[in-house]
Chains A and B, each alone.
Chain A
Amino acid sequence: QSVLTQPPSVSAAPGQKVTFSCSGSSSNIGKNYVSWYQQLPGTAPKLLIYDNDKRPSGIPDRFSGSKSGTSATLGITGLQTGDEADYYCVTWDSSLSAGVFGGGTKLTVL
């Protein structure tokens, strides 16, 4: 059972917008920064968002991140079939003194 809670799956149609939620607590998301990763089948995770809302170079602005209180959200607009993947959030937990990942959300593009 993960410290950060993510829904197991989400689905949307091509061209639509989808959001991924990541719920934590005051000891992790509430006081630390969140990053988001896309993991395509058989590949290493790829950084999409760091420090809550920053995009690394090369990541299109279709991807966005936000944080409010003890929850964080990843948004993807203009969905493409190539976006089908698992998406993970991660942050530092100050009480555990450990990095903590969400369990991941599988995106299906219908």
Chain B
Amino acid sequence: QVQLQESGPGLVKPSETLSLTCSVSGGSITNYYWSWIRQPPGKGLEWIGNTHSTGNTKYNPSLKSRVTISVDTSKNQFSLKLSSVAAADTALYYCARHIGRWGFDVWGQGTTVTVSS
């Protein structure tokens, strides 16, 4: 059974870069699309972007100038970098695996990132 685990700093200073990694266990990262999704406290879900195991990426236009998603198939991981963070980037960040034409069947437990000095 595939499991995802997010990891990274829980506190990031304003204007710095948020970096998270999603480790895939129980299955291979190859031949799938993988997404990052976030949820600000008390609010709804926002799609950040995705990557295929080949490295092909798509980003939410609202974040595109600040987002980089990369994949490391040798480590069975993919990563998120979000630059120039502000308080509005404080959220619970999830990684998820795609299924079908647009669905997410496996989710990590999420990791909370707070942007504060």
Residues on A close to B: CB < 8 A? 2, 32-35, 37, 44-47, 49-51, 54, 56, 88, 90-92, 96-104
Given contacts A2-B44, A51-B101, 14 further A-B contacts (CB under 8 A): A35-B100, A37-B45, A37-B104, A44-B94, A45-B104, A47-B105, A51-B100, A51-B103, A56-B105, A96-B61, A98-B58, A101-B44, A101-B45, A101-B47
Top 9 A-B residue pairs of the complex, sorted by shortest distance between their CB atoms: A50-B103, A99-B47, A35-B103, A33-B101, A44-B107, A51-B100, A50-B100, A101-B45, A98-B60
Please report the C-alpha to C-alpha distance between residue A49 and residue B99 in the assembled complex, in whole angstroms: 11
Contact: B94 with A35, CB < 8 Å?
A: no
Total A-B Cβ pairs within 8 A: 75
Most buried by A among B46, B50, B59, B104: B104
- Interface residues of chain A: helix, strand, loop or mixed (majority): strand
Please report the C-alpha to C-alpha distance between residue A45 and residue B108 in the assembled complex, in whole angstroms: 9
Given A50-B105, A104-B44, A99 contacting B110 (CB threshold 8 A): no
Contact: A98 with B47, CB < 8 Å?
A: yes
Contact: A34 with B102, CB < 8 Å?
A: yes
